[in-house]
Each structure stands twice: as C-alpha cells, then as structure tokens.
Chains A and B, each alone.
Chain A
C-alpha cells in the first residue's frame, strides 16, 4: 500500500486499475488514509457511477488536474488521456489482452512507450504477471469472440426503426445483415423476429389480440402512442436489475448500487460509495437519499454482484509454461520460488502436459484436487460434472470448489485416488446431456433470460412518477421465462438464453476441448499428507462451495432432514 502510494507520488498522473467496483472504493479509501494531503487529487471511476460523475473525472484527467484515478475496466477503452504517465494494475488482469489494453492507457501517443506496474494480491499472481509477459512476447493474445445473432437486440432495434421512420421489412433486413452479428440470419429467424413484434410469434393463437408494429402500405409502422412511449422508456441493451439510485438530499445523483445492499441498511448507517463516506437518510421508490457522513465510523463498502473473472486460455497456458520454467527466471518467479519448491516437494507442479491429481484426507473427510490449468469457468463445468458422475455411482454428497488452476471435490466419505474412476468421471462422452442434468441449466437460463427479456422489451421498468400507468404490467423475468416455456416453448428468445448460457457461462467449446485434451493426457496421482500450496486455496473455498443442483422439493426435504438430525443430536 505504502509503496503503491510512493509510486503514485513520483508520477504526474496515475491510473490504478482494479478488477471489481468494490475494490476501487476500498483502494480509494486506503490511499486517502495514507496520504491525507492528496485530498481533492484522487478520484474514483467505475460503471455504477452516474454519467456526470464519470465525465467530470474524465475531464479532470484530460486537463491533468488529478493525481490518481482508481478505476475498473470502465476506463479500459476509448477515451484518450494523454497526460496519464503511469498505469498500475492491482491483482491478476486475468487476460493478456486486458493487460495490454490497460497498459496502453499510458504514453498514449505514437512513438511513446506504454508501461504498466503490476501489484500482486497473492503470491501466485506473481506467476500470472510473469506469464502474461511471456505471452505478450510470444504474441499469444486472446481473440475477441463477437456476439452471434442476439435476437433480443434485433427485436428492439426493429421497433426503434419502425417508430423512427417506417420502412419496408426487406430493406430493414438488408441493412441488419450488413452487421457481423446478424450475418447469415436465416429466413426462419427473420420471420420470427418480425412476427414477434407484429402478431406475437409462430403460433398465432398463443398471442391473441397482440399487435405492436404493423405493416401500413408495406411499411413497418408503430401507431399506438402508448406502445411508442413504453418502448422509448425501455430502450437500451445494458441491463441492471434492481438498481437503486444514490442521490444527495440536495439533488445531485452519484450513481447506482444494488437493492440488496441498501435494503439491509437502516437510516443513519454509513457506507462508502463514489469515493465518499455517506450516511443513509431514507430509502424509497428505488432511491437512496444520502448526505456526507459527519462521524468517522467504519462504513461498509458498497458491493455489486457479478461473477468472478476467469483466467483466459492464453494466460492459463502461459502460467502452466511458466511454472515449469520453460523460460528463464524473472524477478517475479524468484519471489515465489519457495512456494513452488514446497509444491514440488509435497506433490508436483501442475502442467498442461499431464493432469495432476492430489488426494488428501483431513478431519472432515476426503478431498480430491484436480489441476487441469484451464481457467475458472471451465473448472466450474468440470467440477460439477465430476461431482455429478461420482455421486451417481454412490450416495455421497459431494461439494465442489474451483479456481483458475483447478477444482476440488470434498466429501465426508470415500473419494478414492483411482485413475479409472477419475478418467470416466472426466470423459467427454455424453458431455452435453450430463452437463445439462447436473448444472441446473434451467436455473442458469432463467437468470440469463432476465437480460434477454429486458432488451426485448418484455420487462417494463418502474420509473418515478410513472408507477401507476405501468403497475399492471409487472412481471418478473423468471415468471415470464416459465410462461414462455409452458405456452410458447419454440420462442427463439428462450433458445438464445440457453445458447448464451452454454457458450458464455460454461464456455462450452473450451470445456469440450479441455475434456478431449484431458482424455489424452497422462494422469499424475499423488497422495499428500497435508494440503499442498496449490490445494490450500481450493480447500479454503469449500465453504462457499455449491452443491449440485436439485429441484426445490428435494432441496427443501434435505434441509428439513438436516435440521431434524441437528435437533436430535442436541438432545
């Protein structure tokens, strides 16, 4: 902390990148605490801040009147801040391209060198930094995968066009198909989208009396003023649910936090947001009124949900190489050498040539640690799959935890170090069926559908002052999901949600490739007496571990039974 502050003191203007919005708030507070003299010279920038707040910070950056901006990827892209002469990355950048992008914010002029200073938050991140440098030198940088056929966006866009200027559907299609995302749109998909905004969908009887847009003299038109108004209110593709606006009682809006964060607080509670220490005055109508806190007590830092980023495939590969010293020592790897030596002595270093599996027995039971080195998201899928297949054989309850290096299975009963059993648990056969069965994909797709439904205009947001007119139109996206599944199962928006879940959430393509690769790798099975340095974080994460998805009645039944058993033991 102190050394980061020293580096900031030496530069004119610094961008300090963190990986989450909460971390920006924490770092901002910490920097303010160690350097009270910098008051007014520090700023925060992240996606939940009000646009005006962000613009002000960006303007100050351009003028060079701010010493350091603590930010997330909200400042990764686009804006050119020539006075920035130092960029600091806190924690793993998780990807090579992201690190390059962030570094590029400094010396942002032709012929100037971009530099980035990396600050690790744990020892293994040192290896990730070194590996990122290897990958940059070898030009192994992630490709960006563009979106394919987001039909929710198409539906919204067509309505916007029809409201703006009525046009012939064929002309609209020609224009839409010039984009990469909608290249190769099939007749079926086009007709569906057109049908969805005019008559409802394929089965006409499923949408009686519905008409939003219509063809007038061959032109797609929206005539009903109320439809136009409703559409204008919900335009946009960035969805955030249950956002609560944070505003000063005097009127200035600071940004948004999640409802779950505010609803747990009482008036008078202090919290940290937008780099300020605030006190809650009142919370109603999705607005939290605040004032600057006068007392200096410890406040809670605003938190936002969001999944943890996964290490990219390129960086994971580079880390695996780096662990095996395929390249020469660097200052970073020298520092972690003692930890790596311990790992080598007790077990072995994970690699991508073989599959390292450790088995450890603790007081709680048996643990299997598997290290495919393929990134968090892939391990999530692999872990769930292995747990599902193991528990299908026995009645054991198995918990799964995962990180970027591997995953772990925890169980009270026998989890043996048996290569045949492991190989069949990780075999790519029946992958899709098993994955759908074990991951409660319905639940995942339901969550994904929230965004799809919002973009497609199915969910009507509440607006201050408009509550009465739209109150009858309230339905949660999860309710809508059920209604569509029951009464219009062929709806392409459902298919989109499911496809996006497989591809984005589970990284289906990468998961499949990893499993095929694992099937060909030799396994290295190691019995360890104590948790190895690589196993320890997975063991520590087991408390937040997720159990395999089951239906609601089964879950309730087992919760009731656990409670009963606990009560019996108490007697």
Chain B
C-alpha cells in the first residue's frame, strides 16, 4: 500500500514499518521492556530484544534504505538498560550499514542517554523533505505533515456477524500518519478515526485499507 503526501511516496509495510523515499521508519520498539519487568520482580521471559532487532535487520536487508529512523520510544525504561540488553543492542548497531537516527520519545527521555559509542544521531524532531518525524502527535507542528508513533494504534474490526478482533494499524489523519508500534512486547490502544481519517492494517504480505463499515464505534 502506498500513499502520496506532497511529493513523497509512503510505502506502508505489513511488518509495521514504512518506507519514505530511501528511509525506513518505524516507531515504539520499547527495547528492554521485559528486562524492566524482571528488574521489578515480575518474571517475564527475555526474547523480545533478539526477535525485534532481527526483524529490523530483515527489513534493512530487503529494502536496502540509506537511512533508518526510529520515531521514538526506542528504549522502555531505565531499569530495562540491563547489561544483556545493552550488549545485544550494541551488537545490533555494529551490523548496520546505513545511518541511524532516533527521534526521542517520552520513554527515551525517562530511560536516559544512550551509550556514547552507539552510531545513532539523536533528535527531538527530524525534517525529511516536506515531512517532519516527531514521536508524540500532540507535539507535531500543526502546519506540516508529520509521521508519528506514541499512540500504538490498534483497529477494532467487526462486521456485526462474526466475532470481531483487533489488529495493529496505521492511522492516517489530516496532517499526520501514526505508525503502529513495532515492538513484539508492546500493547495497543484502540484507534477512533474521525470522519475523513483512514485506517490501514497488515493482511498477509500486504497492507490494506480497512473500510469504515468494519469499524463501528
């Protein structure tokens, strides 16, 4: 599924990321989330870090972008910066062949600064051509089209006959596109699109638009 915004072509990927020109953009990885649960005494198994870095590497290998941008909430919490998590993220960065940018999100601010030797450029917001990448849509500039995360949008789909279900989705608003959360161990909040707004969700190996009829309020 591709969308045209100004002069840019946005390709929505079923892997919950998007390609803008030659940039791969994804949001809300929340690395170290299970580690922060364990640090607080809740036994949640590790596995999400390896899985999610692996998913990013697969996407980079397939699309060969010049740039990787994480639109916020790369890390989950200060307790999540365990030696093991930091080590596997360092290993992940050592394998990247493209430049990497992080637009800070609220969780990144709480988690504290990244290790200095990571090859990541950090931004509060990032302009790419006519578009802006910013984590929280509430902080997006009103007059420019923004690409955001933060909301973890999930579409609630039901047709009134069969049992309904929920699925992570892209949410296109008048001046912004909200990305689904990328992390395996992240939840979601149900998106309530206003009139004129559009919802897109992964279906097998593509992304489809969800008709309004399948999302009753």
Hey, which bits of chain A sit against chain B, CB under 8 A? 196-197, 200-201, 203, 205-212, 224, 226-227, 230-231, 457-458, 460, 472-476, 479-480, 482-484, 486-488, 491, 546-547, 549, 552-553, 555-560, 562-563
- CB A174 to nearest CB in B, in angstroms, measures 25
B94 contacts the other chain (CB 8 A): no
Q: Count chain A CB atoms within 10 A of each CB in B79, B84, B163, B201 and give the residue with the most.
A: B163
CA distance A201 to B159 in the complex (A): 42
Contact B163 A546 (CB under 8 A): yes
Given A227-B40, A458-B42, A484-B45, 4 additional A-B pairs, CB 8 A:
A206-B46, A211-B41, A549-B163, A556-B157
5 pairs from A and B in contact (CB 8 Å cutoff): A207-B46, A208-B35, A227-B40, A231-B41, A555-B162
CA distance A224 to B41 in the complex (A): 9
- CB A330 to nearest CB in B, in angstroms, measures 42
Partner of B44, one of A458, A546, A557, A558: A458
A487 partner residues in chain B, CB cutoff 8 A = 45-48
Contact pattern, B 127-161, Cβ under 8 Å of A = 1, otherwise 0: 00000000000000000000000000000010101
Contact B45 A200 (CB under 8 A): yes
Known contacts A472-B36, A472-B77, A486-B47; A209/B185 CB under 8 A: no
Hey, which bits of chain B sit against chain A, CB under 8 A? 33-48, 51, 76-77, 79, 82, 84, 110, 157, 159, 161-163, 165, 167, 184-187, 201, 203-204, 208, 211, 213-214
- CB B77 to nearest CB in A, in angstroms, measures 4
B35 partner residues in chain A, CB cutoff 8 A = 208-209
Contact A559 B162 (CB under 8 A): yes
B159 partner residues in chain A, CB cutoff 8 A = 559, 562-563
Contact A473 B42 (CB under 8 A): yes
Known contacts A472-B77, A547-B162; A553/B42 CB under 8 A: no
- CB B86 to nearest CB in A, in angstroms, measures 12
- CB A206 to nearest CB in B, in angstroms, measures 4
- CB B166 to nearest CB in A, in angstroms, measures 9
A206 partner residues in chain B, CB cutoff 8 A = 45-47
B214 partner residues in chain A, CB cutoff 8 A = 559-560, 563
Contact A563 B211 (CB under 8 A): yes
- CB B141 to nearest CB in A, in angstroms, measures 27
Partner of B38, one of A210, A226, A231, A476: A210
Known contacts A475-B187, A483-B185, A559-B159; A460/B203 CB under 8 A: no
CA distance A224 to B40 in the complex (A): 9
Shortest 9 CB-CB distances between A and B: which pairs?
Answer: A487-B47, A210-B38, A227-B41, A488-B45, A487-B45, A206-B45, A212-B41, A472-B77, A559-B159
B40 partner residues in chain A, CB cutoff 8 A = 226-227, 230, 472-473
A556 partner residues in chain B, CB cutoff 8 A = 157, 165, 167, 201, 203, 208
CB nearest to B80 among chain A residues: A472
Contact A553 B204 (CB under 8 A): yes
Contact A209 B45 (CB under 8 A): no
Partner of B46, one of A205, A211, A472: A205
A482 partner residues in chain B, CB cutoff 8 A = 184
A208 partner residues in chain B, CB cutoff 8 A = 35, 38, 46, 82, 84
A484 partner residues in chain B, CB cutoff 8 A = 44-45
B161 partner residues in chain A, CB cutoff 8 A = 547
